[in-house]
Amino acid sequence: MKEVITLQFGEQANYVGAHYWNLMHAAAADAAAGGAHPQDALAMDTLFCTDSRQTYAPRVLTFDQPGSHTQPDPVSGEVEESDAQWNGRDVEVHRQAQRTAKQPPSSGSGSGEGEGAFRSWTDVVERRYPAQSFAAVSGVDFGNSLGQLSTFSEGRSVFEGMDARDDLLEGAFRRYAEACDRIQGFQTIADASGGFAGFGLAFLERLREEYPKSPLVLYNARAEEGRGLSGLGLAARVDVAVALAAALEAGVSMSVPLFAPQSVATGGGSGGVYRGSAFLAANVAQWGWGVVAGGVGLDELVDRATGQGLFRVAETLLAPGLDASGSTGLAELLGSGGGGGGSFTACSEAKIESLEMLAGRLFVDRGTDVGRLVRQTMPPAAAVRFEAPVPLPRTFPPIFAQHVIPKRIGGVDCVGVAGLLCSTSGSMGYLQTLHGSLAAEHSKYLKDYEREAVREFRYSLDTAIDRYSMIG
Amino acid sequence: MASSAVKLANPNAEVLRRGDALAMNIQSARGLQNVLRSNLSPRGTLKLLVDGANQLTLTKDGKVLLNQMQITNPVAVMIARAATAQDDVAGDGTTGLVLLVGELLKQASVYIEEGVHPRVITDGFDAAKREALAFLDGFRRQMPMDREVLCSVARTALRTKLQAELADQMTEAVVDAVLAIRPAEGPIDLFMVEIMKMQHRTATDSRLVRGLVMDHGARHPDMPKRLTNCFVLTLNVSLEYEKTEINSSFFYSSAEQRDKLIASERRFVDEKLRKIVDLKNTVCSGADKDCGFVLINQKGIDPLSLDILAKHGIFALRRAKRRNMERLQLCCGGVAQNSVDDLGPQVLGRAGLVHEHVLGENKYTYVEECQVPKSVTILIKGPSTHVLQQIQDAVRDGLRAVKNAVEDGSLVPGAGAFQVAARQHLLRPEFLRTVRGKAQMGIKAFAEALLVIPKTIATNGGYDPMDVLVALEDEVQDGHVAGIDLNTGDVLDPAQEGIWDNYRVLRQQLHSCAVIATNLLHVDEVMRAGRASIKAPNPGEE
């Protein structure tokens, strides 16, 4: 009824998106199989559309460079007898045979070489996307260099060129939009920096013109593991800063930076994009699942997390496998031991130590006792309760290997995950780093922009920093 | 080996020096030429591109190929960009441009290997280009652009991209389309010809519709599906319920109050709808009682409004494309309205027939039988997407060829005739003597390079290029205009056979190829010394 269209821009964002839809499919199949969650409360139509085969397919538009889709190799082995296909009406669950022969490593320890076998994000996707969801963006026509779409402003000019030729909102987007009864909002996963950040932002600006009041959630994804903001070179930081400032100016309702943190690296092996993006996808999946199962609207989510739109850069924090049985309050949990700085891992390297640093919380309880604690000790906290823990699809990488408290629900391995989506004063450090990288002495990286534009970017980051300093 | 000066400044720079740089440039250009060479002419081959998502593209068009291939070589990117510019300006001739650039560099390299400085050669190129352009001005034929001539222009353009039977069939459609949208004076705007693809039936069912076809339908089941003799209202007004920006609360204590609340929320939109319905009732009365009323809105219409419109028998379309707004005004008459105030019968257009056609999951709306349609639609039908795409590319080229012909008012005989004649003109001793010393070599190189087009046409047709060339040169010596006959391998007179090239295509080609070849020959160092790439390397590369 109230549909959400998902947009994905760029290679790293598409990796995150691939894992995200795998998680969504697995969770829905699990619920349909009679898992812990009652069937009727599932509102599959919010995130999924029905394609011609009468199965649910993600309502998603993906943009990437041509040549980034790889062909699935023919499946050499056996085909599973039970086909997977579920619809909301019956409780029948059938599992479809897997198309890709690239099996990611199933064991937890150092299997980095297996992950290098992924040539692109389409190797990770387990279920079919609708045919109209792929859009290839080539930088040769309108880009200003070798067409590699490597900088923010180039992405923007590519979009403007393509839009001037044929209106980019017609075609696949219009087909999705018209098939919806009433669109409640848009969620976007875009690269944090680079050409597709610019392309995605220009697209969102066009979208804003047409839907001026819909909530527009933007996740900035940088999926390489262990390369948080501090691991980037100065040129990349400038791009991230410009992308964030431009997003704030464009009227994005909530922007969530997602950088795969160092502490997620487990075992040996290089990791790379696969593991990082899986972690980030778990962050995004929390809120997506809320929209489907918990009856939370996207606007409600945005309002609570941003404090009615005051703090437009939100953080997601994830505490996988949190065992809350001994704790007495959220505050203690936030500061509790474990891998330094609490069990909650923040994606933008914000350090959250205490409850006072949070404003506008949306909390998800996933099979741990944290929710109960929060409700007992902090009544004003907005808590959205779900009983079902996040189920893992068969090929999910064991990134939580060290933290897993295994639960088997309905024969499916589940991991208890607690998450927070909120605005926190810890973001100030993030914003200040970005603001610093836009300083005048780095002007050689900013030569693509006029001085006016750079001043405006600094100004919007300034106002954001001011607001965050008011928290706590 | 002395290190380049740049390396003193930035030790990490990668540099290709003098001889290497030139050799690399020439090689890249010739590599690109070899890729595209087999596609020229009606007898050229097609290329089947399969991308990662298993989507097929069958094409001969140089620009489409260059866009689909992932090119990373900087020289090739430069040539590809120039080919795109050629396509934007003239609409055709991209393959020829790539061939000419490659051949110019190949001819120049012969002299450069003997020690001639590149600047000498490029001076010769400049002089030759100017003379060739002057010759082109004299060689073209001014003629009145009647339907016959335009048909032969369109046929030539379409036959290079499609099979003969299909090309002949689309010829009429293309020419009629351009003649219909031609304004009394001023340039022709090809956006007024809409191209609609439908995946059904066969390619030979493609046709011209003197009206508009839109790729969406009415969204309400009760709306009439077929209306005759209609009034058409084009609007750009939002008929959707808009959420308020003010935070407000309402308290009600009875069902009547709640109904009043709901009614007052809808009042804003209902007012607008009332004006539209009033207009319909005004015009569809008396003698025009059975006329239909069609509303086409660029913005949205929400379901309740659709209901109201359906109850009054109005056929309403929402979220029409921006371009379709202009086209509708040209098709049906009437004026597009931005607000529902001041609606009157004078803003309405007329159409003879509006009906809806369902094809699988897609609905199409036809607005046909308009009185004087200044905007038309070319319907392309075919069994699969790559066939549709192939025909669409060809039709676009055909439309632009006809437009160029109409706007230029003159045509150039085709089938390689111009190139052979130009070469002979450039090599005549009177001209060579006017150029000083070694620059003559540049002129000779340019003249020989022009021959790549007829040679490629002959090769692609399956004939021996040298034989064909000798025959052509004999004819041209006698002063006739001669081109290649692809059916027999002999010569023919292109003007008689109706094979015409566009004047502006050839002019742009000659100009661009000289400029690009000159730039490439002047390069003596290629360096990659810029800032670190921001884009992270692919995971597979690490």
pLDDT tens figures, B502-538 = 999 999 999 999 999 999 998 877 777 655 443 333 3
Q: With CA atoms as reference, report the closest residue to A197 among A230, A232, A159, A228.
A: A159
Q: Rounded distance, CA A43 to CA B123, Å?
A: 72
C-beta atoms of A116 and B303 within 8 A: no
Q: For position A409, what pLDDT does the model report?
A: 56
Q: What is the model's pLDDT at position A161?
A: 87
Q: Answer whether A174's CB lies under 8 Å from A165's CB.
A: no
Question: Which residues of chain A does B74 touch, with a Cβ-Cβ cutoff of 8 Å?
Answer: 146
Cβ separation A233–B66 shorter than 8 A: no
Using a CB–CB cutoff of 8 Å, tell me whether A273 touches chain B.
yes
Q: In chain B, whose CA is at the least distance from the CA of A141?
A: B81
A141 touches chain B (CB under 8 A): yes
Note the pLDDT tens digit of each residue in A316-367. Answer: 877 766 666 666 666 666 665 443 345 666 777 777 767 667 776 676 665 5
Range A42-66 average pLDDT: 81
Residue B13 binned pLDDT confidence (cut-offs 50, 70, 90): low
Subunit contact A445:B531, Cβ cutoff 8 A: yes
Q: ipTM of this predicted complex? A: 0.74
User: Per-residue confidence at A239, pLDDT binned at 50, 70, 90?
Assistant: confident
Smallest CA–CA separation between A12 and chain B, in Å? Answer: 10
Which range is least confidently modeled, A220-229, A421-430, B184-193? A220-229
Contact B80 A116 (CB under 8 A): no
Q: A118, B243: Cβ pair inside 8 Å? A: no
Whether residue A235 lies within 8 A of chain B, CB to CB, comes out as yes
Per-residue pLDDT, averaged over B175-179, amounts to 94
Q: Which residue has the higher pLDDT, A72 or B55?
A: B55
pLDDT confidence of residue A34: 60
Q: Do A272 and B542 touch (CB under 8 A)?
A: yes
Q: What is the pLDDT of residue A340?
A: 37
Q: Is the pLDDT of residue B226 over 80?
A: yes
Q: Is the pLDDT of residue A380 over 70?
A: no
Q: Does B322 touch chain A (CB under 8 A)?
A: yes
Q: Which of A22-36, A97-111, A298-312 has the lowest mean pLDDT?
A: A97-111
Residue A96, pLDDT > 60, answer: no
Maximal CA-CA distance, chain A:
63
pLDDT of amino acid A324: 61
Question: How much is the average pLDDT of B101-108?
Answer: 94
Q: Give the pLDDT band (50/70/90) at residue A393.
A: low
For residue B227, give the H/E element and its range: strand B226-235
> DSSP of B335-391, one letter per residue?
--BSSSTT--GGG-EEEEEEEEEEETTEEEEEEE--SS-S-EEEEEE-SSHHHHHHH
Q: What is the CA radius of gyration of chain A?
A: 21
Highest mean pLDDT: which range of A227-231, B64-68, B71-75, B249-253: B249-253
Name the pLDDT band for B174 (thresholds 50, 70, 90). Answer: very high
CB contact under 8 A, A70 and B52: yes
Does A288 touch chain B if contact means CB atoms closer than 8 Å?
no
Distance from CA of A141 to the nearest CA of B (A): 7
Residue from B241, B385, B535 to probe the interface with A (highest A Cβ count within 10 Å): B535
Residue B316 or A430, more confident:
B316
Indicate yes or no: CB of B52 within 8 angstroms of CB of A120: yes
Candidate from B51, B80, B323 with C-beta closest to A66: B51
User: Which residues does chain A have within 8 Å of residue B84's beta carbon, measured at their own beta carbons?
Assistant: 140-141
Interchain pair B52, A68: CB under 8 A: yes
CB contact (8 A) between residue B539 and residue A134:
no
CA distances from B187 to A79, B41, B402 (A): 61, 29, 12
Q: What residues of B are in contact with residue A116 (Cβ under 8 Å)?
A: 539-540, 542
- pLDDT bin (cut points 50, 70, 90) of residue B539 is very low
Binned at pLDDT 50, 70 and 90, residue A149 comes out as confident
CA B509 to chain centre: 17
3-class SS of residue B507: helix
Q: Decide if B54 and A272 are in contact by the 8 Å CB cutoff.
A: no
Residue bearing tokens 């030569």: A447
**Cβ count near A452 (within 10 Å):** 8
pLDDT of res. A371: 61
Number of alpha helices (DSSP H) and beta strands (DSSP E) in chain A: 12, 16
Looking at the complex, does the CB of residue B244 fall below 8 Å from at least one CB of chain A? Answer: no
User: Do the chains contact at B536 and A148, CB–CB below 8 Å?
Assistant: no
For residues B56 and B54, what is the distance between their CA atoms, to the nearest angstrom? 6
pTM of the model: 0.80
Average pLDDT of the residues of chain A: 72
Please say if the pLDDT value at position A404 is more than 70.
Answer: no
CB-CB neighbours of A310 under 10 Å: 14
Tell whether the model's pLDDT for residue B484 goes beyond 90. yes
Does position A73 have pLDDT exceeding 70, yes or no?
no
Choose among B66, B70, B74: nearest Cβ to A67: B70
Is the pLDDT at A470 greater than 70? The verdict is: yes
Predicted pLDDT of residue A327: 64
Give mean pLDDT, residues A57-83.
59
Q: Looking at beta carbons, which residues of chain A come within 8 Å of B534?
A: 150-151, 193-194, 233, 235-236, 239
Interface subset of A 60-89, CB within 8 angstroms of B? 66-71
Beta-carbon separation of B77 and A445 below 8 A: no
B531 touches chain A (CB under 8 A): yes
A359 vs A280, A469, A470, CA distance in Å?
22, 11, 10
Q: What are the distances in angstroms from CA A462 to CA A303, A358, A432, B52, B410?
A: 22, 19, 8, 44, 62
Q: Which amino acid is at B351?
A: A
Tally the C-alpha atoms within 13 A of residue B57's C-alpha that lie toward its C-beta: 18
Query: Nearest Cα to A4, choosing from A381, A299, A345?
Result: A299
Quick one: pLDDT at residue A94?
36
Residue A166 sits at the chain B interface (C-beta within 8 Å): no
**A-chain residues near B301 (CB < 8 A):** none
Residue with tokens 């291939």: B69
pLDDT of residue A392: 62
| Torsions phi, psi for B217 (to 5 deg) | -125, 180
- Is the Cβ of B53 closer than 8 Å to some Cβ of chain A? yes
A144 touches chain B (CB under 8 A): no
